[in-house]
């Protein structure tokens, strides 16, 4: 299956150590305008075209809260099972060239969302500390050299991103393997897409993941010094980065040293983390409530309305899918189908009587990349019933599906036009006999060889039968006939 092929080989850690990861995920909210001004929130525009005195931090300008951004934040909060608190904004003071105010408007003592959890497809639960609102900074672009600040000739600043609404989701340190880290990011992304809170595109920077990594001996439960890794631009880099960092800590601890708490950057080309700055402590930021923004709260009714408008979330969709398919579907396949937004197609096709296992196989393998929107559950079920009843072969079913996707034609019409009808059982039996006669060497190997030979020869002989019938024979039937002949 495609799902299995795309799984990365798990990078190794010594078994007597455990990695502990907490994530901080910044996500840009799906709003038309910025968090405190009317400028467009849009990726990819000409630099410094979506700017005004507020997001440029000019003296005398005043921020006004974008209510839609705050509502999206609490929508996500409810989807994550968080407690909703009043909206209170604070200034986080630090200097950076792409932040002209010299402070970022964020939330400090009271985040709008606290608590909550994400349940992963494998059943594990990752608790959240908070999910707070803040504004994004501008973007510094380094010209010359490798594109990094080090070695650059000069730098340019684009303020289009300054003031874009963000939500920062902070987990507790409860992720222990690279695959769990990946699963968390995928699950969070699925929730963000389902709730329409963000487009969550890591490659465009609308979802950015920082990882706090530490290690401990496997029999220990305390937390040791952590390092924060920034600059991670894909889920793949994320798992490489956390494992690299964990191994670095293990080496240090094992040789009498210790890591120091710092921010590190993931170097994509070299595949390692490099020291950034020593980590600031919260007191360095001199947080204080923003005097320009009055706190406000949502009523119980407001929150009830948010709850009522929530769509079915990925975890519930997986459960629904598993309920419809029973034990013919693995949790991984269920997760994949929900991610591809094909779960409803499968549930509906099964509900009109198609075999669940065959439906999922066809959807996973044969409706993977194409634009499958024209395939209705009824038509999908029709193809699958033709296949399971033996009217058409598996090969023919794939062709029917491909043609449906391409032309939107209905299955009956395709079968008629292509002259797809399965070979009759009498006909197929004589073809199988014929193939055995013609390929005696292979047949002997099939009958007398070990399991590997048998498997190889089985697919060779089946292939010959398929050729002779132009793909009209059913593979399973051919396999059964070969097996029968070998018994005689």
Q: Give the interface with Mn ion as residue ranges (CB under 5 A).
A: 168
Instruction: Tell me the closest approach of the beta carbon of residue 132 to Mn ion, in angstroms.
Output: 8
The residue range among 37-45, 196-204, 276-284, 329-337 that interacts with Zn ion, by the rule CB under 5 A, is 37-45
Output the smallest distance, CB 162 to Zn ion, in A.
Answer: 8
Nearest-CB residue for Mn ion: 168
Which of 37, 337 has the CB closer to Zn ion?
37
Please, which residue, 108 or 266, has the CB nearer to Mn ion? Answer: 108
Q: Which is nearer to Mn ion, 227 or 400 (CB)?
A: 227
Region from 54-62, 99-107, 375-383, 434-442 binding Zn ion, contact rule CB under 5 A: 54-62
When binding is defined by CB under 5 A, the residue of 37, 72, 349, 383 that contacts Zn ion is: 37
Minimum distance of Zn ion from residue 68's CB (angstroms): 15
Minimum separation from the CB atom of position 140 to Mn ion (A): 16
Q: Shortest distance, CB of residue 163 to Zn ion, whole angstroms?
A: 6
- Give which of 362, 344, 330 is closest to 7, Cα–Cα: 330
Q: Which does 37 bind (CB under 5 to 8 A by kind): Mn ion, Zn ion, none?
A: Zn ion
Q: Pick the closer one to Zn ion by CB: 160 or 395.
A: 160
Nearer to Zn ion, 54 or 347 (CB): 54
Among Zn ion, Mn ion, none, partner that 337 touches (CB below 5 to 8 angstroms by kind): none
Closer Cβ to Zn ion, 54 or 202, answer by number: 54
With CB under 5 to 8 Å by kind, the binding choice for 431 among Mn ion, Zn ion, none is: none
Single out the residue of 23, 39, 70, 405 in contact with Zn ion (rule: CB under 5 A): 39
The yes or no reply on residue 55 touching Zn ion (CB under 5 A) is yes
Q: Which is nearer to Mn ion, 134 or 474 (CB)?
A: 134
Q: Least distance (Å) from Zn ion to the CB of residue 36? A: 8
Name the minimum Å distance from CB 37 to Zn ion: 3
SS (H, E, C) the chain: CHHHHCCCCCCCCCCCEEEEEEEEEEEECCCCECCCCCCECCCCCCCCCCCCCCCCCCCCCCCCCCHHHHHHHHHHHHHCCCEECCECCEEEECCCCCCCCCEEEECCCCCCEECCEEECCCCCEEEEEEEEEEECCCEEEEECCCCCCCCCCEEEEECCCCCCEEEEEEECCCECCHHHHHHHHHHHHHHHHHCCCCCCCHHHCCEEEEEEEEEEECCCCCCCCCEEEEEECCHHHHHHHHHHHHHHHHHHHHCCCCCCCEEEEEECCCCEEEEEEECCCHHHHCCEECCCCCCECCCHHHHHHHHHCCCCCHHHHHHHHHHHHHHHCCHHHHHHHHHCCCHHHHHHHHHCCCCHHHHHHHHHHHCCCCCCCCCCHHHHHHHHHHHHCCCCCHHHHHHHHHHHHHHCCCHHHHHHHHCCCCCCHHHHHHHHHHHHHHCHHHHHHHHHCCHHHHHHHHHHHHHHHHHHHCCCCCHHHHHHHHHHHHHC
Q: Residue 52's binding partner, choosing from Mn ion, Zn ion, none, with beta-carbon cut-off 5 to 8 A by kind?
A: Zn ion
CB of 341 to Zn ion, least distance (A): 34
Count of residues touching Zn ion (by CB under 5 A):
5
**Rounded to the nearest whole angstrom, what is the least distance from the CB of residue 15 to Zn ion in the complex?**
53
Among 52, 117, 152, 157, binds Zn ion (CB under 5 A): 52
User: Considering the rule CB under 5 A, would residue 303 count as an interface residue with Zn ion?
Assistant: no
Task: Give the residues lining the site for Zn ion (CB under 5 A).
Answer: 37, 39, 52, 54-55
């Amino acid at each position: 299956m495609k799902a299995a092929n795309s799984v990365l080989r798990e990078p190794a850690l010594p078994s007597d150590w455990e990695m502990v990861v907490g994530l901080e995920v910044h996500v840009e909210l799906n709003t038309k305008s910025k968090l405190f001004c009317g400028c467009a929130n849009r990726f990819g525009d000409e630099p410094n075209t979506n700017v005004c005195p507020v997001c440029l931090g000019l003296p005398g300008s005043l921020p006004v809260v974008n209510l839609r951004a705050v509502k999206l934040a609490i929508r996500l909060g409810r989807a994550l099972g968080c407690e909703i608190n009043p909206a209170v904004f604070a200034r986080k003071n630090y200097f950076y060239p792409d932040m002209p105010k010299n402070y970022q408007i964020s939330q400090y003592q009271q985040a709008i969302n606290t608590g909550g959890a994400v349940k992963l497809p494998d059943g594990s639960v990752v608790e959240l500390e908070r999910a707070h609102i803040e504004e994004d900074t501008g973007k510094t672009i380094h010209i010359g050299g490798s594109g990094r600040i080090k070695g650059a000739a000069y730098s340019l600043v684009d303020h289009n991103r300054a003031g874009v609404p963000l939500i920062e989701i902070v987990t507790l340190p409860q992720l222990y393997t690279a695959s769990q880290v990946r699963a968390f990011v995928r699950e969070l992304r699925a929730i963000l897409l389902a709730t329409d809170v963000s487009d969550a595109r890591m490659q465009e920077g609308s979802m950015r993941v920082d990882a706090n990594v530490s290690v401990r001996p496997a029999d220990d439960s305390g937390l040791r010094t952590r390092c924060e890794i920034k600059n991670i631009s894909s889920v793949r880099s994320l798992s490489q980065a956390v494992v690299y960092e964990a191994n670095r800590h293990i080496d240090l601890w094992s040789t009498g040293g210790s890591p120091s708490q710092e921010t590190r950057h993931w170097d994509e080309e070299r595949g390692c983390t490099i020291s950034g700055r020593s980590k600031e402590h919260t007191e360095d930021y001199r947080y204080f409530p923003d005097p320009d923004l009055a706190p406000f709260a949502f009523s119980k009714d407001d929150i009830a309305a948010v709850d009522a408008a929530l769509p079915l979330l990925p975890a519930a969709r997986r459960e629904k899918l598993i309920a419809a398919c029973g034990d013919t579907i693995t949790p991984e396949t269920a997760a994949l189908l929900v991610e591809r937004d094909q779960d409803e197609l499968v549930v509906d096709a099964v509900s009109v009587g198609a075999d669940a296992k065959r439906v999922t196989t066809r959807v996973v393998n044969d409706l993977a990349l194409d634009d499958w929107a024209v395939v209705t559950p009824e038509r999908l079920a029709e193809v699958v019933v033709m296949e399971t009843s033996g009217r058409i072969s598996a090969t023919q079913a794939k062709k029917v599906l491909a043609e449906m996707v391409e032309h939107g034609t209905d299955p009956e019409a395709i079968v008629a036009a292509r002259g797809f009808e399965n070979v009759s059982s009498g006909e197929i039996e004589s073809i199988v006999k014929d193939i055995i006669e013609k390929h005696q060497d292979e047949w002997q190997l099939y009958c007398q060889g070990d399991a590997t030979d048998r498997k190889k020869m089985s697919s060779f002989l089946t292939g010959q039968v398929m050729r002779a019938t132009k793909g009209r024979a059913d593979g399973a039937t051919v396999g059964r006939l070969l097996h029968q002949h070998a018994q005689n």
